Amino acid sequence: MAVELIKTACPLDCWDCCGMIAHVEDGRLIKVEGDPDHPITQGTLCGKGRKLVDRYHHEERVLEPLKKVDGEWQPISWEQAFQEIAAQMQAARAQYGATAVMHHYDYGSSGLLKVLEQRFFNLFGGFTDTVGSICWGAGLEAQKYDFGYAKSHHPDDLAAHTDLFVIWGRNVSVTNMHMMPYLKAAMKRGAELVIIDPLKTDLSDKAVKQLQPRPGSDGALALGIARHLLDRGLVDEAFVQEHAVGYEQFAAYVQEWTVERAAEVTGVEAEDIRWLAEQYGSGRAAATILGLGMQRYANGGNTIRLIDAVVAMSGNVGRPGGGVQYGNQVHKFDYATLMADDKPKQYRAFTKVTEADEMLAVQDTEEPVKVLFVTRSNPVGQLPDTNKTLQAYATVDTVVVLDMFMHDTGVIADYFLPCTTVFEEEDIMYSSMWHSYMTYVNRVVEPRGNTKPDWAILQGLARELGFGHEFGEGDSVHQWMEVALKPLEEQMGISREKLQREGIVQAHEESVAWSNYQFGTPSGKYEFYSTVAEQDGASALPVYEEPVESPYRDKERAERYPYHLLTIHPRRSLNSQYYHVLQMPDRPVVEISPLIARETGLRDGDLTRVYNDRGEILGTIKVTDGQHKRTIKIEEGWWGIKGTMLNTLTSNRRSDLGIGSTQYDCLVNLAKV
């Protein structure tokens, strides 16, 4: 039987948004490869992408709707699931209003049509939404204040024009591997790398220098650089006078800092701070590539603003080979119509990071949460402070989880509704993290078992709830796509047919971000001083404050818990999505520096307790050279039901901007078991 090749795209929440080709033989998915026609990802996939096939076939995948009866799962029909869940939603709405139904979601499974969830809840008459982000929210808000929104350069521009890459907190080969060919091409021309990261990265050995600030102190490092730029007259006066507002106020704030003070706060040598400032101010094109860890602190949004300010004052905004690569929010879809946003509704929003506290605060009032929907996410595993999440979710009458596997949130649900994988769906894939190419997702195989696409599950519920017609009957996939693509069709001629025909289309053609110096801020300029931040109750200027769990801010806590814990993205999994597919050890590896090994007496292979006043886990010690001396590294993504609840250690405080998480703002101690 001939093998059929069908184009699709990787749905994982990742910078790269790879084009993929699925191989199907006799109706069976046999493997997936990178699509060589994708201009950025050019035919390669990482291991996570290739293993999507294993997830599709996996024996633990849930293939029938399930209902928990007396603590045991029982298969039920879709009709029964729709009828019972709809009845409980209606009863909750009748007694307490529509906000008694809550929706928690994230981006575990990407795709344009996933936002139909919002359409469903809006048409229901409202809901309790969950907003903010446990990932990059604080940084997005920061770039909104500075630039108007986040925008990145086309990687071809960086490959051709960048002289210096400052890779600040991103392990490129692990989380953004398709950036590597562009870095290599630039380095072949003579471009240099500087790494700023408390951890050793795969590129550390290729860098001319690596600076290792104390976790959470990156904003102070930026201020030290800014001060040296000022002192040495290395500021791009033309940019700050013509294309920016608030520079004088920011410069006055920078004068409160010295390079020596920045050195003391960060632990980076003053000489190295001056050296990096000289690099930024040298007139060479410097591209700053930010990761997603620095904003997961109480000061995280301001950290990104301070780094933006260094890039701006050194003349690296709007020039070829420069810029701050953080996100790329350039896809102009008509989400509002797709989500039926104008529908009158009762609406309340909880912040994802603190939703447990907010739920607990309303449960004994007239406006409780009675039905909780969880889609595209595993909040019990991934939200900070697991014990609080479990406590809050236990107060809800009905928990409904839409997913593929019985993860930590699945096991506490009352109904588990099995959804399809990307191979069983038609959609449009794009990412607002890096490049702007959209890929048409063709359906590759029929849904396994009794699974349904998320939209079809919601459609069944909508029908039962009496608004099926408004939601969209039958296979409305093309219609929904056309609604969302309307602005792109009008402005750039990108219709649904064109995208389906061509497979991959660029949604935004600007190669150098902000090259026309027309920023998206209220002033139209780069804003060192942001009135929007001021209106939001934040500091108008970017400022440095210590992380909450810091030896400089809370000495007593730092004495009890003397080590910084970084729960970083795993190399082989996308958050918690691959635990069951991989052959994992029983417990996580706890990587410590030789100094921590000396202080604790722990050695390679020792079993250790990692603990603080919120919780504890067990792990196996590995002593590692090259990471910040008071920092512990553990890869996240573990499942509690398989033994490790890593987020029992992290706090559910919010970041300063953008209602983000502070999961890296975390001190712990170790004890040998």
Binding region for ligand SF4 (CB under 6 A): 10, 12, 14, 16-18, 45-46, 48-49, 177, 574
CB closer to ligand SF4, 50 vs 348: 50
Cα–Cα dist 501/137, whole Å = 34
CB closer to ligand SF4, 14 vs 195: 14
Tokens of 500: 């389906």
CB closer to ligand SF4, 45 vs 617: 45
* Number of Cα atoms under 13 Å in the Cβ half of residue 655: 34
Q: Which residues make Cβ contacts (< 8 Å) with residue 306, sequence separation at least 6?
A: 218, 219, 222, 223, 226, 542, 543, 544
Pairing of strands 631-635, 563-568: parallel
CB closer to ligand SF4, 180 vs 558: 180
Smallest separation, CB 177 to ligand SF4 (Å) = 5
Cα–Cα dist 240/243, whole Å = 6
Residue of minimal CB distance from ligand SF4? 49
* Number of Cα atoms under 13 Å in the Cβ half of residue 505: 20
Smallest separation, CB 442 to ligand SF4 (Å) = 17
Cα–Cα dist 197/200, whole Å = 7
Tokens of 551: 């030896």
CB closer to ligand SF4, 48 vs 508: 48
Smallest separation, CB 178 to ligand SF4 (Å) = 6
Among candidates 640, 200, 122, 663, which has minimal Cα distance to 411? 640
Smallest separation, CB 420 to ligand SF4 (Å) = 17
Cα–Cα dist 322/311, whole Å = 8
Smallest separation, CB 506 to ligand SF4 (Å) = 17
Smallest separation, CB 550 to ligand SF4 (Å) = 33
CB closer to ligand SF4, 435 vs 653: 435
Smallest separation, CB 32 to ligand SF4 (Å) = 9
Which SS3 state, helix, strand or coil, does residue 529 take? coil
Smallest separation, CB 422 to ligand SF4 (Å) = 10
* Number of Cα atoms under 13 Å in the Cβ half of residue 418: 22
Among candidates 330, 327, 382, which has minimal Cα distance to 355? 382
Smallest separation, CB 15 to ligand SF4 (Å) = 7
User: Distances in Å between the alpha carbon of 484 and those of 30, 369, 487, 491, 588?
Assistant: 32, 31, 8, 13, 42
DSSP string, 241-289: HHSEESHHHHHHHHTT--HHHHHHHH---HHHHHHHHHHHTTSS-EEEE
CB closer to ligand SF4, 46 vs 309: 46
CB closer to ligand SF4, 10 vs 221: 10
CB closer to ligand SF4, 46 vs 234: 46
Q: Which residues make Cβ contacts (< 8 Å) with residue 594, sequence separation at least 6?
A: 623, 625, 629
CB closer to ligand SF4, 49 vs 384: 49
Smallest separation, CB 282 to ligand SF4 (Å) = 33
Cα–Cα dist 67/414, whole Å = 6
CB closer to ligand SF4, 14 vs 85: 14
Smallest separation, CB 641 to ligand SF4 (Å) = 24
Cα–Cα dist 352/343, whole Å = 23
Which SS3 state, helix, strand or coil, does residue 64 take? coil
Smallest separation, CB 8 to ligand SF4 (Å) = 11
CB closer to ligand SF4, 17 vs 513: 17
CB closer to ligand SF4, 67 vs 569: 569
SS3 readout for 122-175: HHHCEEEEEECECCCHHHHHHHHHHHCCCCCCCHHHHHHHCCEEEEECCCHHHH
User: Distances in Å between the alpha carbon of 617 and those of 302, 363, 611?
Assistant: 31, 30, 7
Q: Which residues make Cβ contacts (< 8 Å) with residue 60, sequence separation at least 6?
A: 405, 406, 580
Rounded to 10 degrees, the C-alpha dihedral 9/13/14/19 comes to 0
CB closer to ligand SF4, 160 vs 174: 174
Among candidates 429, 425, 424, 423, which has minimal Cα distance to 504? 429
CB 546 within 8 A of CB 651: no
Smallest separation, CB 148 to ligand SF4 (Å) = 27
Cα–Cα dist 56/58, whole Å = 6
CB closer to ligand SF4, 49 vs 213: 49
Cα–Cα dist 331/354, whole Å = 29
Rg of the Cα atoms in the chain: 25
CB closer to ligand SF4, 16 vs 157: 16
Pairing of strands 589-592, 616-623: parallel
Cα–Cα dist 71/360, whole Å = 24
Smallest separation, CB 666 to ligand SF4 (Å) = 26
CB closer to ligand SF4, 115 vs 174: 174
Residue 197 falls in which region: left (phi positive, over 0), alpha (psi -120 to 50) or beta: beta
Smallest separation, CB 153 to ligand SF4 (Å) = 19
Smallest separation, CB 425 to ligand SF4 (Å) = 16
Smallest separation, CB 591 to ligand SF4 (Å) = 23
